Amino acid sequence: MSFRPLGLDARILQAVTEAGYTEPTPIQTAAIPPILAGHDLIGIAQTGTGKTAAFTLPILTKLAALPPNPRRGTKLLVVAPTRELAVQIEENVRAYAKHLALTVATVFGGVGEHAQIRALRAGTDIIIACPGRLIDLMGQRCADFSQLKFLVLDEADRMLDMGFLPSIRRIVSQLPKQRQTLLFSATLSKEIESLTHEFQHHPKTIQIGRRANPAETVTQFVYEVPKHLKTALLLHLLRDPQMDMVLVFSRMKHAADRLARQLEHAGVRCATLHSNRSQNQRLRALKDFKDGAVRVLVATDIAARGIDVDGISHVVNYDFPMHVEDYIHRIGRTGRANQIGDAISFVTNEDHGELRALERFIGRGIVRKKAEGFSYSQSVPQGHPSESEERFPRAQHPNRPRRPQRPNRPQHPGQSRPAGPSHHSHGANRKPHSHSSTGGQSQQGGQRSAGGNARGQSQPVSGNREGGNERHFPSTAPRSGGFRRRFGRR
């Protein structure tokens, strides 16, 4: 079946043909007619089956048929959870609307807002936005959605999982009641479906394939491996020249950066993509990956909902995902548009519970494999981070002191530890002086005297104590006599 019987505008059909598409996918065949008929819709389909075109093509057809209106205003608002997905939708919309006189703009964080404010105030026809920045600009009264006809919530389940439900409610509350609302996602739980009644009117539900089932064109494998050998196993697998475009998923941002450095050190060109990267860095990483300038893209789950790169040969779950939905979206980055791809998962002893839950969810087991020529009995590589260091970054380690402890200076033979600071003597040979402070405070004062910190001593002092930290973190211990003379009357 071709696109022509679906009732799309001739100019859009021309753009689709120029984009290289000859026949619609099942979700497109099922969703386009009810959207053209004006129904609200819930579309559920596997990742990589063309959901973006399923709502873009019919809405563009309806926008092209609208009579001219001298009052400009945004007609279509698409809300997506991540910047990468927003950019991907924008690229598709521009490709399909290239022969229409429609304006398109994106609104998301990580970049300057001035161009986005101008686009909203100018009444751009199509706005593709992330909830956070859109709420900010709507709060500044930059947006006018009085002319809005269509609202699309793409990857709706992900937005709700990320805690965007209050933001979405605020956005929807400021939109016209008379509109057509569409929700599309690869996964949509029954609990989340019940919330869609807040945003839609008698929606039709279209489900292609099993709910949240991985695409059939993706071959899945599991490699059981000790945690300390995961990087070595990945480098071993990357010797295969067929792994020419590899997307590697890490659970944490600092771990993604560390893995990328290890791969670069081994001679593998790679880039990283996670939320700590600026928008320009993220766009550059995607562009280098698409253009083949880098062979491996190391990413966190932020990329699982927005990467639309043709030709990804392998997806590697370096860290096994904790949730089934994240697994579905990760491996859906390969095997897109009926192409074949491989999904490889590294499983440690800690991951067997998540693996069993995944197999129960998809209704079948995943093939276990052993890498040929790889030694699974290797010792921990030198410099490999310990398990606790992987779980706790250096600044957050629960058992690591915030600042090195200052060692006690050794006492000279025959020299007793002073009980407290002297107010009238100077030099290292101070006599003990009775003090009314607590024992711990007197001991601290004694350390300062015994250490030679009084005036006139040439012995260097510790930068931790005298280099400025004491001004920012004042101590309750008694100060020297000079300190009291200078500041005691304040």
Residue 342 within a domain? yes
Residue 313, pLDDT above cutoff 50: yes
Of 158, 18, 84, give the one whose Cα is nearest residue 308. 84
| Most confident region among 118-122, 158-162, 374-378 by mean pLDDT | 118-122
Annotate 109-155 with DSSP letters as a single string. SSS-SHHHHHHHHTT-SEEEE-HHHHHHHHHTT----TT--EEEEET
> What is the rounded CA–CA span in Å between residue 74 and residue 71?
10
- The pLDDT, as a whole number, for residue 224 is 94
- The pLDDT, as a whole number, for residue 411 is 52
> What is the rounded CA–CA span in Å between residue 336 and residue 65?
32
Structure tokens at 140: 């500044």
Between 162 and 183, whose confidence is greater? 183
Determine the average pLDDT of the residues in 140-152: 93
Residue 392, pLDDT above cutoff 90: no
Regarding whether 338 and 237 lie in a shared domain, the answer is: yes
CATH of the domain at 142: 3.40.50.300
- The pLDDT, as a whole number, for residue 214 is 60
> What is the rounded CA–CA span in Å between residue 137 and residue 476?
48
Say whether pTM exceeds 0.85: no
Determine the structural domain holding residue 193 and report its residue range.
Answer: 4-207
Beta bridge partners of 182: 41, 152
Residue 52 within a domain? yes
Domain boundary among 330, 356, 379: 379
Spatial CB neighbours of 430, under 8 Å, sequence gap ≥ 6: 418, 421, 422, 449, 454
- The pLDDT, as a whole number, for residue 445 is 42
Regarding whether 301 and 186 lie in a shared domain, the answer is: no
Spatial CB neighbours of 153, under 8 Å, sequence gap ≥ 6: 79, 159, 168, 181, 182, 183, 184, 199
Regarding whether 230 and 191 lie in a shared domain, the answer is: no
Of 86, 92, 143, 147, give the one whose Cα is nearest residue 119. 143
Between 201 and 212, whose confidence is greater? 201
Spatial CB neighbours of 327, under 8 Å, sequence gap ≥ 6: 214, 317, 320, 321, 345, 358
Of 161, 216, 184, 215, give the one whose Cα is nearest residue 329. 215
Structure tokens at 381: 């590589």
Predicted confidence (pLDDT) per residue in 240-259, tens digit? 988 989 999 998 889 999 99
Predicted confidence (pLDDT) per residue in 65-81, tens digit? 988 877 789 999 999 98
Predicted confidence (pLDDT) per residue in 79-123, tens digit? 998 888 899 899 999 999 999 999 999 999 888 899 999 999 999
Phi–psi pair at 140, nearest 5 degrees: -90, 5
SS3 of residue 247 by DSSP: strand
Strand 246-249 vs strand 296-299: parallel, antiparallel, or unpaired? parallel
Predicted confidence (pLDDT) per residue in 230-239, tens digit? 999 999 999 9
> What is the rounded CA–CA span in Å between residue 49 and residue 215?
8
Structure tokens at 269: 């060109």
> What is the rounded CA–CA span in Å between residue 485 and residue 479?
10
Place of tokens 């609202």: 151
Regarding whether 325 and 279 lie in a shared domain, the answer is: yes
Residue 90 within a domain? yes
Residue 154 within a domain? yes
Domain boundary among 143, 178, 207: 207
Regarding whether 178 and 317 lie in a shared domain, the answer is: no
CB atoms within 10 A of CB 58: 27
Regarding whether 188 and 231 lie in a shared domain, the answer is: no
Regarding whether 199 and 145 lie in a shared domain, the answer is: yes
Q: Domain tally for the chain? A: 2
Least confident residue range of 104-118, 198-212, 442-456: 442-456
Average pLDDT, rounded, for the chain: 78
Regarding whether 192 and 276 lie in a shared domain, the answer is: no
Determine the average pLDDT of the residues in 326-342: 76
Of all residues in the chain, the percent with pLDDT exceeding 70 is: 71
Of 376, 375, 371, 321, give the one whose Cα is nearest residue 350. 321
- The pLDDT, as a whole number, for residue 191 is 61
> What is the rounded CA–CA span in Å between residue 185 and residue 410?
68
Q: Which amino acid is at 188?
A: L
Determine the average pLDDT of the residues in 191-217: 74
Regarding whether 123 and 142 lie in a shared domain, the answer is: yes
Regarding whether 154 and 249 lie in a shared domain, the answer is: no
Regarding whether 80 and 28 lie in a shared domain, the answer is: yes
Regarding whether 235 and 203 lie in a shared domain, the answer is: no
Identify the band that residue 440 occupies on the pLDDT scale cut at 50, 70 and 90: very low
Handedness of CA 219, 222, 223, 228 (dihedral sign): positive
Least confident residue range of 139-153, 155-169, 372-386, 413-427: 413-427
Q: What spatial distance separates the first Cα and last Cα of the chain, rounded to whole Å? A: 88
Residue 361, pLDDT above cutoff 80: yes
Domain boundary among 187, 207, 227: 207
Q: Are the C-beta atoms of 309 and 292 separated by less than 8 Å?
A: no
